[in-house]
Amino acid sequence: MDTKPAIRQDVEERIFNLQKLINELQKEAKEHKKTQKDLKNTEKKYQDLYDNAPDMYASVDSKSARILECNKTLAVATGYTKEEIIDKKIFDLYYEDCHIDVEEAFQQFLTKGEVRNKELILQRKDGSKLNVSLNVSSVRDEDGNIIRSRSSWSDISKQKELESELQETISKLKRKSSFEKIIHTISHSVHQSIEPQTVLENTVESLVNNIGGVSKACVFITEGNNAYLRAEHGFPQWYIKEAGLIRKPKCITWKTILENRLISCPNIENDTVIERSAKKLGAKSYISMPVNIDGNTIGAFIMLSDVENGFNSEHEDLLRIVAEQIEVAFSNASKANDLLNSQKQLKNMNENLEHKVRERTEKLKKYAEELKDSNNELEQFAYVASHDLQEPLRKVKSFTELLASKYSGSFDEKGEKYIEYIVDGATRMQRLISDLLSYSGIGKEDHIRSEVDLNQTLKKVIESLELKVKENDAEIINDKLPTLITNENDVFRVLLNLINNALKFRKEATICAINISSVEKDDEFIISVSDNGIGIEQQYLPQIFGIFERLHSRSEYPGTGIGLALCKKIVEKNGGNIWAESEKDVGTTFSFTIPKEQGYDD
């Protein structure tokens, strides 16, 4: 039997199977190569994502606390290269003052295996600070032991700035509230008591209790060459005993009295005038204000703070008001003493005790009425004085314009400019006085209510602003407004001011669009004036209704700063409220309410 064909066939089959196996191996090798390539691409994408992530990342060895790996974001944020960061100790990235917090976070990580939202401070290569929020997770081995950490930092610098701005705003509001409370307390004390001593004691107590950082306050009143401590709050007994009487011209008390001026010292350690006993109190700064009665300096009001630079211009203004209130208290006491002397004479002449008490009461009532009449006369005087200022201003303006017209070309460029300044100043003064008269006149005119169609009132407002509307190429649209019982002149003035504001504060290269709308509530109507102007930043919204409050210079936007204050006064006199909602560069909406049943506040 010939075995060669069988052997050949077997060899061919083996060759075929071997070739088939080779083809399969080649196919697998090709697929493996593709998988390796895909894996490299995936790793590259992951590395790119890791390097350019918005947060800063690093891996840290749990035993040595050395950085094993970091992303590019961390390097850019801190000013180092990745090579400079790797192998650093994690503590070296942090600002020196927060190392205790860093150690605490590290111990927390070793104990719990994680850290969540820990606020710390990184130190950049140039030494500057970077506020961050730290989050750390752990990488463990098969036995559950931590072998390294994954740390991430989020930049919270902007958040910290906003928090700081918010705190400053809150502090200002708190200071304002505290100052108002102090003034109210002192004013109430002045009107409730004819004893200056009671007023002085209430004053120093209110100042210490309501102003942060102020630990002590006192008042010295002079008698001849001696200044006596008449009221204090916060001082120890040894100081009261030692400094209860100060002879002329010793220490800051007499310096304030003799020079009759406010004295502020930001750092007591550097002060050469204040007495040694005052330095022993531990205060860091002080402010001293003279107390004047009928043009004569009779004492000094002093506040001490536990911090350096504890006082600013706001405290100085407050202390001036306090000094004025104390002057009123002494003046009232003097008048009251005169009154009491008169009553004592009447008492000696009158045997009936009940009659004497009744007579004293009547005299006090009369005195109160005289004070009220005096206040009314002062208010009327201020109104008339402001009114009479307009005539000389008109003359200044008209004669200056006549001078410029008649002698045109006779002046050099500087002279022409001076005349322009005079005319502009007189014009602005006239406008300011006019606005002030309008503001002070609210509530004095006859307040007649009638049925008012706000659509017709708005039409009159737009007609009066027709020229400005055309100059600004403005579009004014309105919903159907209600008809209600109110004072048409008041609503006209409010709408006129609000629409005029929208025209004034328009955005450049944008069509000025103004919309007037209304919403009916259970007991009131809400009227809104919206625009697409430059808007107002949120932190300035609470102050825009104050008189003379301006957010822009007069060269940018003309005006007196009284318009919105006028609107507020009119609306509140009619029993309503006014407010604003705004977004910078988007626009502003002013809204005010008109009660359905109005009560006018006289």
Q: What is the pLDDT of residues 410-456, one digit of tens each?
A: 767 777 677 666 765 556 565 556 555 555 555 555 567 788 899 99
Lowest mean pLDDT among 10-19, 168-177, 227-236: 168-177
pLDDT tens-place string over residues 352-390: 667 667 777 787 787 777 766 665 665 565 456 555 665
- For the chain, give the percent of residues with pLDDT over 90: 5
CB 507 within 8 A of CB 585: yes
pLDDT in tens, 289-333: 898 888 888 888 888 998 888 888 888 888 888 888 777 777 776
pLDDT at residue 602, as a whole number: 45
- How confident is the model over 239-291, as pLDDT tens digits? 888 888 888 877 888 888 899 999 888 888 888 777 777 778 888 899 998 98
| Length, in residues, of the chain | 602
For the segment 342-358, the average pLDDT, to the nearest whole number, is 65
pLDDT band, very low/low/confident/very high, at 506 (cuts 50, 70, 90): confident
At 42-99, the pLDDT tens digits run: 556 666 667 777 888 888 887 788 888 888 888 888 999 988 889 888 888 898 888 8
User: What's the whole-number average pLDDT of the chain?
Assistant: 78
Asked if CATH classification 3.30.450.20 holds for the domain at 56-155, the reply, yes or no, is yes
pLDDT at 142: 76
CA dihedral 139, 144, 146, 148 (to 10 degrees): -30
Q: What is the DSSP letter of 443?
A: T
The strands making up 578-583's β-sheet, listed across from edge to edge, are 475-478, 513-520, 524-531, 587-595, 578-583
Q: Which of 115-129, 200-214, 587-601 has the lowest mean pLDDT?
A: 587-601
167-338: CATH number: 3.30.450.40
pLDDT-derived band at 591 (thresholds 50, 70, 90) equals very high
pTM comes to 0.34
In the chain, the amino acid numbered 451 is E
pLDDT bin (cut points 50, 70, 90) of residue 529 is: very high
Structure tokens at 122: 């990184």
Report yes or no: 134 and 108 within 8 Å, Cβ to Cβ: no
Going from N- to C-terminal start, the domains of the chain cover 9-49, 56-155, 167-338, 354-441, 450-595
| Cα(289)–Cα(276) distance, integer angstroms | 20
Q: pLDDT band at 601, cuts 50/70/90?
A: very low
Is pLDDT at 552 greater than 80 in this prediction? no
Nearest to 451 by CA among 422, 424, 485: 485
Highest mean pLDDT among 149-158, 481-490, 553-562: 481-490
Distance separating alpha carbons of residues 200 and 293, to the nearest angstrom: 14
Model pLDDT, residue 600:
45
364 or 533: which carries more pLDDT confidence? Answer: 533
User: Which superfamily is assigned to 450-595 in CATH?
Assistant: Histidine kinase-like ATPase, C-terminal domain (3.30.565.10)
Neighbours of 30 (CB within 10 A): 10
- Which residues lie across from 305 on neighbouring strands? 214, 285
**What's residue 438's pLDDT?**
56
* Closest alpha carbon to 321 in 206, 198, 437, 234: 206
pLDDT for res 91: 85
Is pLDDT at 183 greater than 80 in this prediction?
no
Fold agreement (56-155, 450-595): no
561-587 confidence digits (pLDDT tens)? 677 888 888 888 888 999 989 888 889
Among residues of the chain, what percentage have pLDDT more than 70?
A: 73
Give the Cβ contact number of residue 450 at 10 Å: 8
Helix, strand, coil percentages for the chain (3-state, nearest 5):
55, 20, 25
Write the pLDDT tens digit of every residue in 197-248. Answer: 888 888 888 888 888 788 899 889 888 888 888 889 988 888 888 888 888 8
Model confidence at 516: pLDDT above 90: yes
Which pLDDT value is given to residue 597? 72
For range 508-520, the mean pLDDT: 89
Residue at 287: amino acid letter:
I
Mean pLDDT of 481-490: 87
DSSP state of 243: S
To 10 degrees, the CA torsion angle through 259, 264, 266, 268?
50
